Structure 1
Amino acid sequence: MTGDQATYDFVIAANRLPVDRGDDGEWKRSPGGLVTAMDSVMQNRDGAWVGWAGEPGEAPEPFDDSGMHLHPVALSAEEVRDYYEGFSNDTLWPIYHDVIVPATFHRRWWANYRAVNQRFAEEVAKVAAEGATAWIHDYQLQLVPAFLRKLRPDLRIGWFNHIPFPPVELFAQLPWRGQIIDGLLGADFLGFQREDDSWNFLRACRQLEGHETDGDTLRLDGRTVRAAGLPISVDFAGLDERARREDVQQRAAEIREQLGNPEVLMLGVDRLDYTKGIRHRLKAYHELLLDGEFTPPDVALIQVAVPSRERVEAYQTLKDEIELMVGQINGDFSTVGASAVQYLHQSFDRDEMAAMFQAADIMLVTPCATA
C-alpha cells in the first residue's frame, strides 16, 4: 500500500479501459479485440488496468469491475485530438500500415503524445506493487516503458504491439523515430504479432540508433531487452462454450430465418478501418453478383463494421464510401424481404456475435494490410 492507494502485482496499461459507459451511465465491457484477448489473462487475477475512460475531462474515480481494478487516466479534449486522433491515428497508424494513406506530422501532436505517455507511466507507477509486472499495450503508449523505468526501476516491464511494426524504410519517415525506439527499449520484453515485426524493430534499432543486437536480444544499460513475434490468441474454450449454449443456438437460427434462410450466409466482422479491406470485399462481392455467380436470396452477406475513430477525416470518408457501395449493391440485387448485404455499423455483445458466427457458413477475413 502507498498511503490509501492499493497496489497490484500485475498491471495492464492500454489506451482505453476495458469498459465503456453506456447511455444509462452504467459501465459495460468493451467489444474491442484487445479486451477480448486480455479477458482470459485477467480472470481470477488480482490485477489493475490503467486506461482512458473514453470521455475528455477529469477521470472518474478508480473502481472495480468483474474482479479487476480499473484505474482511469484523464485526457483533455485537446489531448484526445492531438495524442489520439492526431499522432496515434493520423501519424503512427498510416506509417505502421504501409502508408496506405499519407501520414501527417505536427510537432504539437508529438508534444501531447509525449505528455500523455508520461501521465500513463505515472499512473501505472501509482498502482504497481514493489517488483510488480507492468504490461503496456499498443502503439499509443510506445514511450511509456522508458518513462516507467525511470519512475520504477524495480518493475518488470513488457510491451505488446497489436498492429504491425513497419520496415525501417517506412519507420525512418517518422521525425521522432529515435525517441520511439528509446521509449520501447525501456521494456524488458517487446512482443509483436509476427516474427517479421520483431525483426523490423531490431533492424531499426541497429540502423537508426546504432544498437548491436544478438539474435532477438540487445544489451542496454546492463539490461537485456528481448523482442519476439508472439501472435495474440483468444480464449477458445470460452468461445466454444458460449457458442454451444441453447439460447445462442436459437438466436443463430433466428438470424438465418430473418435473412430468408439463405443457402449460403457469409459474414464479415471488422472495425471500420481502411486496413481491413471492407471496400475491397464489397467490390469483389458486387462483381460476383454482376457475373451471376451469386444470386440473392440464395446467398447473403452480413458485414459488421464496428464504429472506429469517427472524428478522423479518413475514417469519415471511408464510412461514406462503404455506405454508398452497400446502397448500390442492395439497390441492384436485393429482393423484397431479403437484402443482398446486411450492413451493420454498430457494436454487438458477445452473445450476439457468437450467434452470428454460428449462423454463418463462411467467415470472410480479407484485410488488405497485415494488421
Structure 2
Amino acid sequence: MAIKQLIEAPLVVVTNREPYVDERSNNGIRTIQKAGGVVSALDPLLQDIGGHWIAWGSGSADIEVSPGGKRQVPPEHPRYTLHRIMLNQEEIQGYYAKYSNQGLWPLSHMLIERAQFSRRAWQIYRNVNQKFAKRVSAVSPEGAWVFSHDYQLSLLPAFVRKSRPDVAIAHFWHIPWPPLTIFRLCPQHQEILRGLLGADVLGFQSELDVDNFLNAVERTLKVPVDRDTGMVTWQDRHVHVKSFPISVDFAAIQQLVETPRIRRWVRGIRRHIEHRDQILGISVDRADYTKGLLPRLDAIKEFYSLYPQYRERVTYLQVVVPSRTEVAEYRRFYDRVAKKTQEVNQLFATSSWTPIITLPHSIDRPRLMGLFRAADFAVVSSLVDGMNLVAKEFVAAQVDKRGVLLLSETTGAANELENEAFPINPLDPEGFANTLHEALSISADERAARISTMRAHLMKHTIYDWMEDIFLTLKMAAQSYV
C-alpha cells in the first residue's frame, strides 16, 4: 500500500464510534467489527503499521474486556491498540444526543428549525472533547500524526495542540459546512472555529464546504485567509484547508459481489425479477430526516399515479435502518416513515404485488452489495448530504452495468457523478417521478455507458486515494510550521 510509505510518524486515529464493539449476548461476549468507509480503510492500515485508535466505548461489554480502557484489536490477531473513552449517561445525552445530534447535525444540514442548543449540553460536549484530547495527548508518541474526525470532536484539535504541540493533526469534517448566516446560529460558533483551527490540515467534502468555512473564519475571527491556497494563518501557524471528497474501496466491493455465494444470490434475485417481468429499485438509508425519506415517498406515490403502466412492474425496496433511537425525535420520524409507506402501499398494492417493501434493519455488507448489483435502479434523495457513499457503493457494485442512479443534486456525490446519474430535486415529487420514468426508459446501451463512466471515475478515486491525499497534505504541513 502506497499510503504506508507516506506515513513517517506513529499514527493515532480518533473517532466518535469505535471500529470494534464488544457486546453481551446470551452466548457470552461477542466482538463486532463495525462497517463504514472510514473503518474499512483505516482498520487495515493500522493492522499493517500498528498504532492507536481512540473512540467512545459504546458496547455493553466494552468496560469488561478493556482493562484501563485499552483493548488489543482485532481480538483474534491483535495488531494495534483501541483506547475506549467511557461515557456516563449524562455525557452520552449532552455530548452525543443533544449537542452533536440535536444541535450541530441539523444546523450543518441547514435544517435550522430542528436545531436545538443548550448551555448545559455545550459544557458536557466541551468536557467530553477534553476527555478525548487528554487520552490522545497521553498515548501519542513523540511527533505522532493524529487523524481525527467529524463534528462530534470539533474542539479536539485545539485541546491536543495546547498540550502536545509536537504532534501533527489532520481533522476531517464529514458532513456539510453551512453558510455563515446559518452557522452563526450556533451560540458557540467561534469556539468551534477555534477548536478546528488547532489542526494542521482541515478536510471537507467539497469546495463549497471549504469556501463556507473560510468565509466563517475570515468574517468571524478576522484572521488572514488565502483563498487561492486555502491557507489560514492562525496563532503563528498555517492551517491547510482543503476539499478531500471521500470515496469507497472500489476493488473490495467488486471482489465482494463476484464471490461465488453473492453471485448465486444475485442470480436468484434476477431470475425472480425477470420471471415476473419486474423492475427492482433500491434505496439504503438511516432513518434520518436529512435523507429525504418522506419527500421520496411522496415522489414514489406521484410516480405510480402519473405512470400507471409501472404498477405491478416496479417494486421499490427501501432499507431503512433505525438511527439514534435514544433521541425521541428520531423514533417519531421512523414511525412517520412507516406510516407513509403503509399509505402508499394501501393505495396501489394488489393481491399479488406490494409496491414498496421495507427492510427495517441493516443488512450484512456482502448481501447489501449483492442487492446493489441486482437492482435496476437506486435512489439517493438526501435533502443535504456531505457526500453519501451509498451512491458510490451502488456504482461500484454494478459490475453487470444494468442499473441507473437517481441522485439528489444536493449531495456531495453529485459533484462527481451528476453528468451520468439522473439528477433529482428531493422536494419536487412530480419532477422526481418524471426523472424516474426517464431513467427507466433509456436503452440498455445508454445505461451501460452511464454506469461505466461513473465506475471509471471511482476506480481512479478510491478511499485510499482520499487517505493518500490527506496524509500527503499533512506531511507537507508538518514540514512547514511558521
- Alignment TM-score > 0.5, same fold: yes
- 1:288–1:294 CA contact under 8 A, matched in 2: no
Aligned to 1:243: 257
Residue 338 of structure 1: how far off its partner (Å): 3.8
Aligned 1:54-69 pairs, distance under 5 A: 54-55=58-59, 59=63, 60-61=65-66, 62-66=70-74, 67-69=79-81
Q: Which amino acid aligns with 2:73?
A: D
Aligned 1:1-371 pairs, distance under 5 A: 9-22=10-23, 24=25, 25-36=29-40, 38-39=42-43, 41-42=45-46, 44-55=48-59, 59=63, 60-61=65-66, 62-66=70-74, 67-99=79-111, 101-215=113-227, 216-256=230-270, 261=276, 263-293=278-308, 295-336=310-351, 338-371=353-386
d(CA) in 1 for partners of 2:208, 2:232: 17
TM-score, normalised to structure 1, is 0.92
d(CA) in 2 for partners of 1:255, 1:143: 48
Helix, strand or coil: the match of 1:131? coil
| RMSD, aligned CA | 2.1
Aligned length: 364
CA 1:161–1:118 in 2, change beyond 3 Å: closer, same or farther?
Answer: same
CA 1:352–1:75 in 2, change beyond 3 Å: closer, same or farther?
Answer: same
CA 1:64–1:335 in 2, change beyond 3 Å: closer, same or farther?
Answer: farther
- 1:57–1:77 CA contact under 8 A, matched in 2: no
- 1:12–1:136 CA contact under 8 A, matched in 2: yes
Deviating more after overlay: 270-279 vs 49-58: 49-58
Residue deviations 1:127-151, cap 9 Å, x none? Answer: 2211111011000000000101112
Deviating more after overlay: 53-62 vs 161-170: 53-62
d(CA) in 1 for partners of 2:224, 2:277: 58
Residue 212 of structure 1: how far off its partner (Å): 1.0
- 1:262–1:297 CA contact under 8 A, matched in 2: no
Residue 272 of structure 1: how far off its partner (Å): 1.2
d(CA) in 1 for partners of 2:321, 2:36: 9
- 1:296–1:335 CA contact under 8 A, matched in 2: no
- 1:56–1:77 CA contact under 8 A, matched in 2: no
TM-score, normalised to structure 2, is 0.71
Helix, strand or coil: the match of 1:15? coil
Residue 305 of structure 1: how far off its partner (Å): 1.5
CA 1:37–1:75 in 2, change beyond 3 Å: closer, same or farther?
Answer: same
d(CA) in 1 for partners of 2:261, 2:201: 42
Deviating more after overlay: 88-97 vs 312-321: 312-321
More strand by share: 1
Identical amino acids, percent of aligned pairs: 36
Residue 85 of structure 1: how far off its partner (Å): 0.4
- 2:21–2:59 CA contact under 8 A, matched in 1: no
Helix, strand or coil: the match of 2:361? coil
Q: Which runs of 5+ in 1 are unaligned?
A: 1-7
Q: Which amino acid aligns with 2:251?
A: A
CA 1:37–1:51 in 2, change beyond 3 Å: closer, same or farther?
Answer: same
d(CA) in 2 for partners of 1:253, 1:222: 61
Aligned to 2:480: none
Helix, strand or coil: the match of 2:307? coil
